[in-house]
Amino acid sequence: MLRFITQCNDPLLEYIRDDPVRPDIPAEFRVSNHRFISALVEETPRAIVCVSLHKFVPQAVQELEQTDAEADTAIFYTIWSYAPGAGAELLRETVAGIRQQFPNIKNFVTLSPKTEMARRFHLKNGARVMRENADTVNYEYCNL
């Protein structure tokens, strides 16, 4: 089951301690100002992705603070899974959920670290390299 987490008191927020990409980002930041967490949950999470809504594509983590109510782009800025294949399933379901809840969102882009693991994951799941930045890579998902 897909769950969007938007409140600081949600018990699933405790799982951000497992974030391998951006563990330094606090829970309060992740669920405020047009930002939320999407989780694929059975009894416990199978995969988690953090999402920020924008009218532009950020090149650095600091730019995630500049959200916009008129957003047209969902930025996936960290993702991790606890089960094989769950990350890809979560991305597909999250895109579907965003399209339903936020019909103005037309673009789905990552703010990924420059790692081989991130590259393999995103390219394997249908993304293309949109832009390489100083410390990050933006992968764009066009067919989810």
The 3-state secondary structure of the chain, one letter per residue: CEEEECCCCCHHHHHHHHCCCCCCCCHHHHCCCCEEEEEEECCCEEEEEEEEEECCCCCCHHHHHCCCCCCCEEEEEEEEECCCCHHHHHHHHHHHHHHHHCCCCCEEEECEECCHHHHHHHHHCCEEEEEECCCEEEEEECCC
Which pLDDT value is given to residue 143? 82
Which pLDDT value is given to residue 51? 98
**Mean pLDDT taken over the chain:** 96
Kindly report the CATH class assigned to 2-141.
alpha beta
- List pLDDT tens digits, range 39-48: 999 999 999 9
Greater confidence, 67 or 30?
A: 30
Going by the DSSP 8-state scheme, the letter that residue 71 receives in this structure is: -
Instruction: Report pTM.
Output: 0.95
pLDDT at 144 over 80: no
Which pLDDT value is given to residue 135? 96
Which pLDDT value is given to residue 74? 97
pLDDT at 3 over 80: yes
- Residue 105: is it exposed, middle or buried by C-beta count within 10 angstroms (0-12/13-18/19+)? middle
Which pLDDT value is given to residue 1? 95
Banded model confidence at residue 130, pLDDT cuts 50, 70, 90: very high
- List pLDDT tens digits, range 67-122: 887 999 999 999 999 999 999 999 999 999 999 999 999 999 999 999 999 999 99
